[in-house]
Amino acid sequence: MTLTSCIFLVAKFIALPMDCRKLMSISFSPGDAVFFVHPQHSWVRGSVISVEKDSATCKVEDKERKEVQQGETIAKVKSDGIEMFHNECLDDAKHDDLLHLSVLHEATLLRCLYLRYMTDVIYTNIGAIVVALNPFNYEIPRYKDDRMSKFLALGKHFDKVPNHGLYPHSWACAHNTYFEMVENSENQCVLISGESGAGKTEATKIVMKYLAGVSCLGGTADEKKHSDGVGAKLTACSPILECFGNAKTVRNDNSSRFGKFMEVKFNGQGRLVGAFTTKYLLEKSRIITASEGERVYHSFYVALRGKYKGHLQFESESTYVSVNSGKCLTNKEYDTADDFEEVCDAMKKVGMSDDEVKSVWHIPAAILNLLNVGLLEDKAEREFSTFDDKTQKFLVQAAKLLYVSDQDLLKELLYFVRTTPDGDIVSRTSTDGAIDARNALCKHMYDGVFAWLVEKCNETCDAQSQGNWIGLLDIFGFEDFKLNSFEQLCINLTNETLQGHYNNFIFNKDMAECRAEGIDVADIISPDNTKCIQMLTGQGGVIPLLDECCAIDKSTDFTFLDKVDTAHSKNTFYGKNKTSRDTFFVRHYAGDVTYTITSWIEKNKDTLRDQMKLLIRRSTDKIVAQSLPLPVPKEQQKGKAPTVGGFFALQLRSLMEKINATNPHWIRCVKPHPAKKALHFDGVMTMKQLESSGVLGTVKIRKAGYPVRIQNENFLKKYRVCVTVSTADPMARIESVLTNAGVSDKKFSQKGRTKVFLKTEALTRLERFRDECLKEIASTLQRIGYGYIDRKKCFLQYVEKHRAELLRQKKEREERERAEREAEERAKREAEEKARLLREAEERRRKREEQKLQEKKNSAAICMQRYVRGGLCRLRVFRQVLEETRAKFEAQREAQFVEERRAARAIDAKRQASEKQWISWLNNVDHLKKKNSVDQQRQVKHDEQKRRINVRELCRKEDEDRQALDAEEAHDRQALMVRCEMLASHKKYLRDQETRAKKMFETQTNPLHSATRAPPPTANHRSARSDARTKEILSDYAASRAKAFEDFFPPPPPKNTFAALSDLSQQRGTPGRPSDFGSRERFQVAKDRWVAQDQYLESHVMPTPVARPRSGPTVSQPPSQQHLDEMYSGPHRTVGATMQHSLDSGQAATRATPRRLDQEPPWLAAQPTSPAPSVQNKRGGTDLRSAIDWDAVFNA
């Protein structure tokens, strides 16, 4: 339990004596935990070592700041550079909005930004401001483009979704800006600022990309496509403006040297339709030269290295003065030929033709050559200038690129026309005048082509819309260099004006919160920089006085400075350096800036002679001519000549009018370290940027009011130890705490409806008063705690002794129980051992008996195996001998076939030779018959091939049917033989019975003849009944076979052609049935077989099988696969050749039957023309039982 929790627990029950009227001092004392200003690291955490009158000595104790030396002692830290450290500051980094901190000042602000930055959290909200620290790392996962979908998914309910878990980001700022525009129908603006290298341009791209994405939500496909197209055009404009408007500086490799305000336009449905860009204050001096370590604009370097360098006739880079002025030729951005190609592609995307692209690059090339033109002092007349002949080629090349005469160009540089009442006077220019004229020409042409490019981008991207727009302001940050000139004054004036706008907006918002809480804000004074702005731009201000001096010809820079001193010497925002004659300083909101007035009048005039303008306007190149405006005729000139400062003040006034008419949002970009490396942090540099960007203005506004704001419940929870009243009213308890601490006065604190508003001094007093209360409570707790600890110690000693006595008694009891238990276990083990021995003896006896029985079984099994294996072996040997005999028989039969195959191959060779002769003869005949058409020959071949295929198919089907019929006949023959043997046995038995009966009869009737043996009966003496029965059985069987034969084979076809047989087979739809001729032949074989069997029954003579040649398949023997392959192989390409081969081979299966030779068979030709009537069966065939004389077949 911690000390604080003990205090909260006990304070409810203990009455604490307090001197409520005692007031604590707000001065620091040794040992206090504080924040103090370190000379190298700005605000760091530490402790006070000693205190002096107006300062203190502090020790660094900040383990979170890695770059700080721990334990370092810093002496003479001023009192305004020390702030109390509170425990609430330990969790400050967890807040995404630092205005939610209970204590807000510069130290806590810097500490929170540091802790978040070192954990890759670069965005932090401070009220309406999004502070973005440049990470110099594009690989942070939470900030990649794929995470943008989480913001887009919330839609317009972004602020209404509780715990949406989305962190501060430029996406969040763009999201809120867009939906405030849509819901309120009010124009918005996002003001993006920061010093060079802080990431302003990237932040603008991020916001622009998000606006393009969020405007497509819920839109149709066409709307999304249009928005994507507008986004692509805006993206294409970026590299063009960066190439011509950005340059490398010491702080940033791609620093924007101009300001721009982009109006992103939307239609009534919130869809992106276009954008319009306005440029501000291009830094023209960088066109001529650059400081050491810097470069002029990117366009000059990419032009020297791009694909047009041959067309532009460039020499080596070291030749040109301007690009080498900064002694830095390389850069990470816009430095290679690929970058040049990217810019050219972007120009084409915005609608520029190839000729326009080339013309644009003529101007940077001409400027490089012009700045190399030598203008020297004339030796004869030193007050005038002359031309250096050594630089003649640069003058000629510049004039060629500008499409003007080189002599006219040189004349305008060396001479000028002065208008007098008596007429125009041509005078020679001085050396400085000639150089100024050349530089002015280069500046105005480059500014003109840059303005033309901006206008071209606007023509491509702009669109008329009745909806609202969102303005994106990308402007220079506050600048304070060693040498600050007129450009820095204009930049700082812009930031001063924007800071005034920000102060008014934030202060009014803060005061609105105070009024909502019921706080009296009458005495709170807002930070105001209006007087500083008036001193610079108001009546009699710095810029109007500069314009006034420019209108007077003989005015100098010192004349201007004297007028400024006279007008503003008593102004608190103005100061004069006594040690410097040509400087003055202005007290800006971000600090004092000293300005050097050298060449201010010249820079403010920024004039170009009319003759020079007319020369360029006469150029034949359209873009070169448009880079400079026409001179204003004298009769149209009214009032003073326009100046840069006056024009800029007018632009700034127009810009502020637009911003004041919108709802503003801020993104402040900060560069955390000059080395431009990731996770490097410079506290002094960061604080300076926070101050210059106006972020600390929020803290100052809070300090002007009540910077410490604590919720009522949190206040009572923290300071409840200081409450002396016993009431449940929270306001009364708060009042009690404030009164006891002596800060109840209005100048220290006020009570709101939900918050307590405190000054910093009041918070310090409250903390000290709380510490005193905690000390008194701690002493009381110590007294109670020490007494409790001593009593607990005595009690523990008694308990220890009692436990020892109980332990001794327990051990004695356990010893007795152990001895008794061991005796019982010993007796039990002996009984178990005896029983085990008996069981083992019985087990051994049983195993011996089982072993003997098993041996007897094994012996019997061996005997049985011997007999069984002998029988199996003899059977296996018998089968082996049988297989060998069968193989020997097959080998003998195969040997008989070898000679027949040899003869067949000889016949096949003769056939092939005859075929070759036949083919040769046919070729000669075809040569003679050239008049026949090719189509007719093809048709003949096709028909022949078709007939050949039909014949082969019919032959194949006939052979298959033969094979099937032979197999069936073999089965029937076997069954018949069995039946015949049975009949023969029965007949023999009857005959024997009859013989025995006769012998018995003869013996009984005539004993005299008993010794004489009668001769055996012959066939003539057989019983008529037996013969009749046999014939009846055979007739029934033959009739059943004939019926099956009739059902299977159709009657013979009526036609006598071979083609008719094919047609008949196709009409019946029964392909594969054998021909009628084959059926007759098989029937004849069956008939002969029946006759032979009947003869066997009559005379006991075995039928002789019909001998058939084995050289080929027969009617009853299916053809082998080898025989079919030989018969229908490749050489038999024609029907005639196949028939010839069959006739030559002499084989029965392939003999040329009459039907195959397209002739009628003899038995069909011998039939009468009018066939005898036949009976049709159920299947449409002829009933052979009425057509065949079966009695003649089975004649006894």
User: For residue 1032, how many other CB atoms are within 10 A of its CB?
Assistant: 10
Rounded CA separation 948/1059 (Å)? 11
User: Quick check: 127 and 513 in contact, CB under 8 A?
Assistant: no
The answer to the question of whether 496 is labelled as a binding residue is no
How many Cβ atoms sit within 10 Å of the Cβ of residue 446?
A: 25
Measured between alpha carbons, how far is 722 from 24 in angstroms, rounded to an integer? 14
Per the annotation, does 198 bind a ligand?
Answer: yes
DSSP 3-state of 153: helix
Asked whether residue 194 is marked as a ligand-binding residue, the answer is yes
Task: Give me the DSSP letters along 155-206.
Answer: GGGTTTSTT--PPP-HHHHHHHHHHHHHHHT--EEEEEE-STTSSHHHHHHH
d(CA 316, CA 805): 106
Q: How far apart are CA 193 and CA 172, in angstroms?
A: 17
Q: Give the Cα separation of 1118 and 1127 in Å (integer).
A: 14
Q: How far apart are CA 1029 and CA 1024, in angstroms?
A: 9
Q: Is 197 annotated as a binding residue?
A: yes
Please, are residues 46 and 59 in contact by the beta-carbon 8 Å criterion? yes
Report DSSP letters for 903-953, one per residue: HHHHHHHHHHHHHHHHHHHHHHHHHHTTTS-HHHHHHHHHHHHHHHHHHHH
Structural contact between residues 668 and 493, judged by C-beta atoms closer than 8 angstroms:
no
Q: Is 199 annotated as a binding residue?
A: yes
Region for 591 from its dihedrals, namely left if φ exceeds 0, alpha if ψ lies in -120 to 50, beta otherwise: left
Relative to beta strand 42-51, strand 123-126 is unpaired
Q: Is 201 annotated as a binding residue?
A: yes
The answer to whether residues 750 and 706 touch, using CB atoms and an 8 Å cutoff, is yes
In residues, how long is the chain? 1196
- Cα distance between residue 882 and residue 876, in whole Å: 10
CA–CA separation, 494 and 660 (whole Å) = 14
Q: Given the structure tokens 């239609």, which residue do they identify? A: 267
| Crossing angle for the helix pair 406-414 and 610-617, to the nearest 10 degrees | 170
Question: Which two structure tokens, joined as six digits, stand for 1052?
Answer: 């013979």
Q: Which residues contact 446 (CB under 8 A, 6 or more apart)?
A: 244, 284, 287, 297, 363, 364, 367
How far, in Å, CA of 381 to CA of 383, rounded? Answer: 6
Q: State both tokens at 601.
A: 């009048």
Query: Contact 721/11 with Cβ under 8 angstroms?
Result: yes
Which CA distances in Å does 476 have to 261, 283, 506, 1132? 12, 11, 22, 101
Q: 413, 440 in Cβ contact below 8 A?
A: no
Q: Which helix (H) or strand (E) holds 246?
A: strand 246-247
Identity of residue 814: E
3-state helix, strand, coil in the chain (%, to 5): 55, 10, 30
Residues in a beta bridge with 420: 423
Q: 1142 Cβ partners below 8 Å, 6+ apart?
A: 1127, 1150, 1151, 1152
Residues 552, 556, 560: CA angle, nearest 5 degrees: 85
Check the annotation: does 67 bind a ligand: no
Please report where in the chains the tokens 């430095």 appear, as a residue. Answer: 335
Please give the Cα distance from 287 to 605 (Å, whole number): 17
Q: Which residues are annotated as a binding site?
A: 194-201
Q: Which residues are annotated as a binding site for ATP?
A: 194-201
